[in-house]
Amino acid sequence: MDDLYPSRYRSEPAIVRRTTPVVHADSVDAAPIGVSMVRQYERDGVIVLENVFDSDEVAVLKRAADQLRVAPGQLSSGTVITEPETSGEDVVRSIFAIHQQSDVFFKLAVDERLAGLARYLLGDQVYMHQSRLNYKPAFQGKQFYWHSDFETWHIEDGMPDMRALSMSVMLTDNHPAAGPTLFLPGSHTSYVECVGETPENHYKDSLKKQEYGIPDGDSLTQLANEGGIISPPPPAGSVVIFDCNTMHGSNSNITPFERTNAFFVFNAWCNRL
């Protein structure tokens, strides 16, 4: 198979243009969201849909998320990731495979408001590439440095092409200072080749702190100068949707306000690993 998007093999970084479409739907007539939102998603690689889930639904989801966090010993080994460099007690940063470990999150994963929209945008049947709960705990939540998810999934896991997207369901109101996700709009149309080789079993460390597959400063500066930086702080019940190649990251949370979201990555069936 030809590798459309090589990375981590050269000594100099490079930006190459994306060659595959962002929206794969045949027509906008069948769009489950407004046409302007579809166009914005295509242009920016990220959109925010507010009021997708009502307060009763959010309460059920938040309760389920809290229950999983306080009993991590009952979850499959390797699915609980703690914050780096926390002193004393482990602080849970992420729980993976939530659609397999919780009936509540399984139902959320297959909800048409998410899965149906993913099918539409990706123009194919979809399956769950990855799911997780991200907790950004008050005072302790650490940063995620800038990255393209696709670069990692492509190079480390073997995802063939950019035909996947992430949907992040906000289970808490996002305070603008509590380390909300930062996005570089338009960056999904550029692929930043990263420098350096990937060590064995890198994923075990990279989920706490990424050290390989890191885009270089000049490339990030260029993308930020072209499209700016946004950090939407959506209220609970919103869904943030972003393309697998949209550059994003987040700052630490030193505020007293935690931030929790349920995160689902849908991949097109034709793009399965």
Question: In the sheet where 248-250 sits, what is the strand order?
Answer: 144-147, 248-250, 181-183
Report the distance separating Cα 184 and Cα 192, nearest Å: 13
Task: Report the residue number whose CB is nearest to Fe ion.
Answer: 149
Q: Which residue has the tokens 């930062």?
A: 182
Question: CA geometry: angle at 159 spanning 265 and 99, to 5°?
Answer: 30
Q: Least distance (Å) from Fe ion to the CB of residue 112?
A: 25
CB of 147 to Fe ion, least distance (A): 6
Query: Three-state DSSP class for 150?
Result: helix
Which residue, 57 or 156, has its beta carbon nearer to Fe ion? 156
Find the shortest distance in angstroms from Cβ 149 to Fe ion: 4
Cα–Cα distance, 270 to 122 (Å, whole number): 10
Binding part of the chain for Fe ion, among 114-122, 130-138, 147-155, 202-210 by CB under 5 A, reads: 147-155
* Smallest separation, CB 152 to Fe ion (Å): 8
- Element holding 145 (H helix, E strand): strand 144-147
Q: Which is nearer to Fe ion, 149 or 193 (CB)?
A: 149
Nearer to Fe ion among residue 124 and residue 149 (C-beta): 149
| Given 44, 83, 124, 149, the residue binding Fe ion (CB under 5 A) | 149
d(CA 194, CA 9): 8
Report, in Å, the least distance between residue 51 CB and Fe ion.
Answer: 25
Q: Are the C-beta atoms of 175 and 250 separated by less than 8 Å?
A: no
Applying CB under 5 A, the span of 7-15, 96-104, 148-156, 190-198 interacting with Fe ion comes to: 148-156
Rounded to a whole number of angstroms, the minimum distance from the CB of residue 246 to Fe ion is 9
Instruction: Examine residue 243 and tell whether it contacts Fe ion (CB under 5 A).
Output: no
| Overall size of the chain counted in residues | 273
Contact range with Fe ion by CB under 5 A, out of 7-15, 78-86, 144-152, 209-217 = 144-152
Stretch that binds Fe ion, among 73-81, 101-109, 146-154, 176-184 (CB under 5 A): 146-154
Between 32 and 233, name the residue whose CB sits nearer to Fe ion: 233
Sign of CA pseudo-dihedral 18, 24, 29, 32: negative
Q: Please identify, using beta-carbon distances, which residue of 178 and 240 lies nearer to Fe ion.
A: 240
What are the Cα distances from residue 82, in Å, to 142, 176, 180, 249, 255?
Answer: 10, 23, 19, 18, 19
Please check whether residue 85 is in contact with residue 225, taking contact to mean a CB–CB distance below 8 angstroms.
no
The answer to whether the beta carbons of residues 144 and 251 sit under 8 Å apart is no
Contact stretch for Fe ion (CB under 5 A) within 78-86, 107-115, 145-153, 224-232: 145-153
- By CB under 5 A, name the binding residues for Fe ion: 149
